[in-house]
């Protein structure tokens, strides 16, 4: 059983975690944030969830990322997080939530309409038991709803005091620039953060999105930095029971774990060892090498992973030779199409 009288570590800001400014906003985010997409629904014991969240907070992780439909079932992660948050100092925590993927049946249960976004935000606030979230995202670009409507809804959320900052997730670079212009033209609250998928095995944001966000002063928080566990030592000797691939094979798929990919992962693992890091740590550090990245949004199934991953911030520099070696290892690897590569 986890001790219910949790008292945060008094040394949590002693420098083990570093914080980066989110674009040109005043918001500082930890270099590593914790995502609650998996392992925080109703199938994970609450004591285990508490253990991970409290450990993360003790290590200086102040940012916890949610969405309306994180579970299972949909909504459970927000509902479970609410009581845990009560044991943390609210003003030291940045909570995000999102709306846009399927949440409830019928024409208003997903995508980017004002109707969906604002109803979903109200539901999220009720589930978490808070008056506001720190960041509210449009979870995906909706090609059938005018961007003005989606962005106007985000602006309304801020004006109503239900969100402090707004973000977009997985928007292509062209629509990202357009979104920023629309907010400026209408004098709406500007988008402060973009949440794209980014890892050694999915580098789509390098062609346009990073420079777009850098020029526009928008922060970037990279999700699935470990490719859901593939960029760790977890799959080097087969698929362990209970792992993400064994539990949700439609997300981390058989085709993601092909032989050439695993051969590349093994070479990356060797390079990480030479650098004195685990592969998970090197994969996170490699993202942090870019100063335009604000935070790396990791998931975890246990406390040990959070502890291991946080050490990545201590060794995030790469020599030119190491970067070349990484590029050479990755060059022959062709990953199957990712749902989250938007450009």
Q: Which residues bind ligand NAP (CB under 6 A)?
A: 35-39, 65, 139, 169-170, 195, 223-229, 232, 234, 243-244, 280, 297-301, 305, 308-309
Judged by CB, which is closer to ligand NAP: 37, or 165? 37
Report the distance separating Cα 138 and Cα 213, nearest Å. Answer: 16
Q: Are strands 28-30 and 19-21 parallel, antiparallel or unpaired?
A: antiparallel
The answer to whether the beta carbons of residues 306 and 42 sit under 8 Å apart is no
In the complex, minimum distance from the CB of residue 22 to ligand NAP, in angstroms, rounded to a whole number:
16
Give backbone dihedrals phi and psi of 78, rounded to 5 degrees, phi first: -65, -45
Judged by CB, which is closer to ligand NAP: 162, or 234? 234
In the complex, minimum distance from the CB of residue 115 to ligand NAP, in angstroms, rounded to a whole number:
21
Judged by CB, which is closer to ligand NAP: 46, or 184? 46
Judged by CB, which is closer to ligand NAP: 4, or 206? 206
In the complex, minimum distance from the CB of residue 271 to ligand NAP, in angstroms, rounded to a whole number:
16
Judged by CB, which is closer to ligand NAP: 10, or 231? 231
In the complex, minimum distance from the CB of residue 182 to ligand NAP, in angstroms, rounded to a whole number:
21
In the complex, minimum distance from the CB of residue 296 to ligand NAP, in angstroms, rounded to a whole number:
8
Report the distance separating Cα 227 and Cα 313, nearest Å. Answer: 18
In the complex, minimum distance from the CB of residue 167 to ligand NAP, in angstroms, rounded to a whole number:
9
Report the distance separating Cα 201 and Cα 260, nearest Å. Answer: 12
Judged by CB, which is closer to ligand NAP: 159, or 249? 249
């Amino acid at each position: 059983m986890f001790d219910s009288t949790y008292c945060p570590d008094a040394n949590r800001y002693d420098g083990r975690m570093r914080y980066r400014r989110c674009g040109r906003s005043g918001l500082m985010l930890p270099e590593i944030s914790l995502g609650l997409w998996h392992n925080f629904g109703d199938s994970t014991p609450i004591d285990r969830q508490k253990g991970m969240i409290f450990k993360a907070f003790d290590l200086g992780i102040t940012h916890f990322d949610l969405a309306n439909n994180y579970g299972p079932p949909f909504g459970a992660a927000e509902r479970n997080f609410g009581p845990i948050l009560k044991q943390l100092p609210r003003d030291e925590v940045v909570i995000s939530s999102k709306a846009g993927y399927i949440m409830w049946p019928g024409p208003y249960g997903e995508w980017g309409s004002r109707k969906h976004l604002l109803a979903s935000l109200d539901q999220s606030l009720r589930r978490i038991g808070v008056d506001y979230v720190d960041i509210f995202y449009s979870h995906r670009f909706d090609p059938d709803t005018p961007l003005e409507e989606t962005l106007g809804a985000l602006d309304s959320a801020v004006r109503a005091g239900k969100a402090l900052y707004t973000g977009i997730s997985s928007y292509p670079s062209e629509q990202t620039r357009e979104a920023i212009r629309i907010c400026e033209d209408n004098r709406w609250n500007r988008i402060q953060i973009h949440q794209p998928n980014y890892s050694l095995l999915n580098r789509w944001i390098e062609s346009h999105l990073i420079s777009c966000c850098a020029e526009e002063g928008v922060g970037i928080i990279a999700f699935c930095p470990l490719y859901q566990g593939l960029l760790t030592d977890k799959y080097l000797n087969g698929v362990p029971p209970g792992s993400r691939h064994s539990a949700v094979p439609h997300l981390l798929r058989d085709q993601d774990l092909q032989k050439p990919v695993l051969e590349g992962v093994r070479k990356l693992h060797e390079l990480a060892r030479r650098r004195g890091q685990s592969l998970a740590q090197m994969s996170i550090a490699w993202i942090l090498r870019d100063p335009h990245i604000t935070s790396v949004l990791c998931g975890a199934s246990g406390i040990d992973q959070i502890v291991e991953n946080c050490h990545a911030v201590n060794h995030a520099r790469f020599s030119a030779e190491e970067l070349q070696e990484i590029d050479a290892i990755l060059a022959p690897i062709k990953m199957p199409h990712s749902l989250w590569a938007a450009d």
